[in-house]
Amino acid sequence: MEIVHIPEKLPFPPHQQPTVDVFAAQLEPKLANTLVRRLNQIAPLETLRHVKRIRKKLLQAQDGKTELSVILCVAENNNELCNIPNDVQDLITSYQLSPFRTKVCKYAATSKEEWEEQCKLWPTSYHPPTYNIDGITGFSEEDSQSIFSFMNAAIQLAKSSGRSVVNAALIVDPSVKRVISSACDQTCSWDTPEDKNVLKTCCFKQPKAFNSNTDCEGTVSCKTLHSNGFPVEEKQLYAHVSCLFPWGWAEQQAHMGSCRWHPLRHAAIVAIESSAARDRHLFPNLCDIQDKPVDTDNVQSTSMGSLAKRQKTDFEKVKGDDILDSCGEDSQSLSARPYLCTGYDIYLVWEPCTMCAMALVHQRIRRMFFAFPNSNAGALGSVYRLQGERSLNHHYAVFRVMVPEQVLDTAVTC
Amino acid sequence: MASPEEAYSDETLAFMDLAIQQAKLALDSLEVPVGCVIIKDGKVISSGRNRTTEARNATRHAEMEAIDMLLDKWQERGLSKYEIAEHFSKCILYVTCEPCIMCATALSILGISEVFYGCANEKFGGCGSILSLHLGNSESHNSGGIPQGKGFKCRGGIMASEAISLFRGFYEQGNPNAPKPHRPVVRQETQ
């Protein structure tokens, strides 16, 4: 398996990178130092810092001899040789150079492939990106293993209803490799707070125990796969994946029974809600900036009230779990309380829609891993590219974890 | 997008004033002051205000609060999905600040008919400032029978100065929910 970073900008195909024209000239090796020093003064390459001033070409035919060329200056549009600045022109005259026009790449390379392609035109320097988010420059073996196992847990969760595949989300604290919250899509149905038997399996540490909490109705029966394992028709097969078909909620069959449904309860939204509930539960008093304590369970509107009740029930079920044991000490120290999801990662089976992707910006997630792109409504490269919107007040790094589509076939492991 | 205030009917201004009242409730609770009301058949059927600090959930925007209240109410009354979709298609939202990318997508998913907003949201507005989700995405690709992004009518600039002055008031008092390096919270005597 492979983990691919999805950058903020759509990269240019390596062989189609934008170029600018420059004037260059061959020179004697012994002149190189003098000329480069002089040219850096009179015609510095301000906007082309990634471009090397000198090109060294190995001449095969002449038995290891090298040929040096130097960039004299940038060529303006429609510029004839006579438009070369006077200082440079003087240099050309005094050293008897023969200027020629050539192309160099306009932007610094963002990948090794781009760089290799650039150097075919004219050599450039390449600095691999040094962001402060782990993973953009590659993952250690240990980190990769942990990423694959969390992604696998998300995929199992997505198949856990056993009837139709949905999207699933896992919010993880990577510093301790602990699942903070997990959820499936609840757009088709979600269990009412009164249904306590279902809530029994809720637990923060073991995503596998979530299956019956996120039961979705299975109206899609078409699971026909081609012999190569790919779906006959994606629409039918993944019709219950909320982020793939956000606008399809009204057409889905209503669920019989006591279950509720909510067109906006996509997996990521529900996972954020659970992590917020965990925060309120583990650190009940730290938001008492006001003089009076805030009772989150009672102040809420009716809809929030019923939600809070459900979440409270969830937490009663985890008593005895070591998260609660550590709660005592954690709540003593201010530093242990998370600010929203700062520092946390999220694993989603499918690339999120703009609603979920923006919700995760608001909640300050640090890294996003998804397995399958979303060509209908994907916000992180497929339709939109939210990670490249510089105006947003927070950005997370986006990665695709490459897994074969066959892992979604419920028959394989269920 | 901003039009002179005279262009708006008394009714529009009255509904936006109700949204401003909701935003003031948020401010009183030390929340980012954004408020909204949802109108159907000329009547207010839901309202909401930002509740992100209290919920410790930065997605609990005013619009989400008002939407959840409606879905709860309509499902309790036993309305079907089809009927609820019908209802949303007759709803008009008045909100003090341009819906963000998340809320604009949510409004499109629900198929709300029209949005009136106060001030623009230059950082993460989803109705023209950063993305234009109110235009729908019919142009983007062939739907092949799959329901696609629905657009909604959208007008901004209604009582924008009132909405902005509420924000100013909030940032003067400080954001209690912000991480440490931010400006300290000014303790205020509440009522």
pLDDT tens digits, A91-145: 999 999 999 999 999 887 877 888 899 999 999 988 765 455 667 777 888 899 9
The answer to whether the Cβ–Cβ distance between B57 and A383 falls below 8 Å is: no
Which of A:338-367 have CB within 8 Å of B? 339-340, 342, 353-359, 361-364
Residues present in chain A in total: 414
The Cα B2–Cα B155 span in angstroms is: 8
Among B173, B11, B65, smallest CA distance to A302 is for B65
Strand partners, B116: B94, B155
Confidence of residue A16 (pLDDT cuts 50, 70, 90): confident
Domains and CATH numbers, chain B: 10-138+147-173 (3.40.140.10)
Query: A262: which chain B residues are within 8 Å (Cβ-Cβ)?
Result: 68, 71
3-state secondary structure A336-405: HCCCCCCCCEEEEEECCCHHHHHHHHHCCCCEEEEEECCCCCCCECCCCEHHHCCCCCCCCEEEEEECCH
Q: Mean per-residue pLDDT for A231-249?
A: 78
Confidence of residue A257 (pLDDT cuts 50, 70, 90): low
* The architecture CATH gives domain A141-277+340-408: 3-Layer(aba) Sandwich (3.40)
Confidence of residue A334 (pLDDT cuts 50, 70, 90): very low
ipTM: 0.89
Query: B69: which chain A residues are within 8 Å (Cβ-Cβ)?
Result: 301-303
Q: Whole-structure pTM over 0.90, yes or no?
A: no
- A301: nearest CB among B65, B84, B145: B65
Segments of chain B assigned E as strands: 35-40, 43-49, 91-97, 114-119, 153-155
Query: A273: which chain B residues are within 8 Å (Cβ-Cβ)?
Result: 57, 59
Among A382, A381, A380, A372, smallest CA distance to A406 is for A372
The Cα A307–Cα A302 span in angstroms is: 9
CB B99 within 8 A of CB B107: yes
Query: B131: which chain A residues are within 8 Å (Cβ-Cβ)?
Result: 354, 384, 389
pLDDT tens digits, A387-405: 888 788 888 999 999 999 8
- The whole-chain average pLDDT of chain B stands at 87
Torsion of CA A138, A139, A144, A148, to 10 degrees: -50
pLDDT score of A244: 93
Nearest residue of A to residue B87 by CA position?
A250
Q: Going residue by residue through chain B (191 aa), what tens digit of pLDDT does each one get?
A: 444 545 789 999 999 999 999 999 999 999 999 999 999 999 999 999 999 999 999 999 999 999 999 999 999 999 999 999 999 999 999 999 999 999 999 999 999 999 999 999 988 999 999 999 999 865 444 445 566 678 999 999 999 999 999 999 898 876 655 555 445 555 444 43
pLDDT tens digits, B81-106: 999 999 999 999 999 999 999 999 99
- A290: nearest CB among B30, B48, B84: B30
Among A3, A340, A310, smallest CA distance to A180 is for A340
The Cα B12–Cα B8 span in angstroms is: 6
pLDDT score of A225: 34
* Helix/strand/coil for B111: coil
Query: A353: which chain B residues are within 8 Å (Cβ-Cβ)?
Result: 105
DSSP 8-state class, residue B184 = P
Q: Compute the nearest-CA separation of B124 from chain A (Å).
A: 6
The Cα A200–Cα A213 span in angstroms is: 8
pLDDT score of A272: 97
The one-letter amino acid at A334 = L
The β-bridge relationship of strands A397-402 and B35-40 is unpaired
Note whether A289 contacts B: Cβ–Cβ < 8 A: yes
Determine the residue among A264, A300, A344 to mutate to test chain B binding: the one whose Cβ has the most chain B Cβ atoms within 10 Å.
A264
* Helix/strand/coil for B65: helix
Q: Where are the domains of chain A?
A: 141-277+340-408, 284-292+308-334
**B98 noted as active-site residue:** no
A221 phi and psi, to 5 degrees? -105, -15
The answer to whether the Cβ–Cβ distance between A303 and B148 falls below 8 Å is: no
pLDDT score of A268: 98
CB B163 within 8 A of CB B20: yes
Cβ neighbours around A308 below 10 Å, total: 20
The number of C-beta contacts closer than 8 angstroms across A and B is: 154
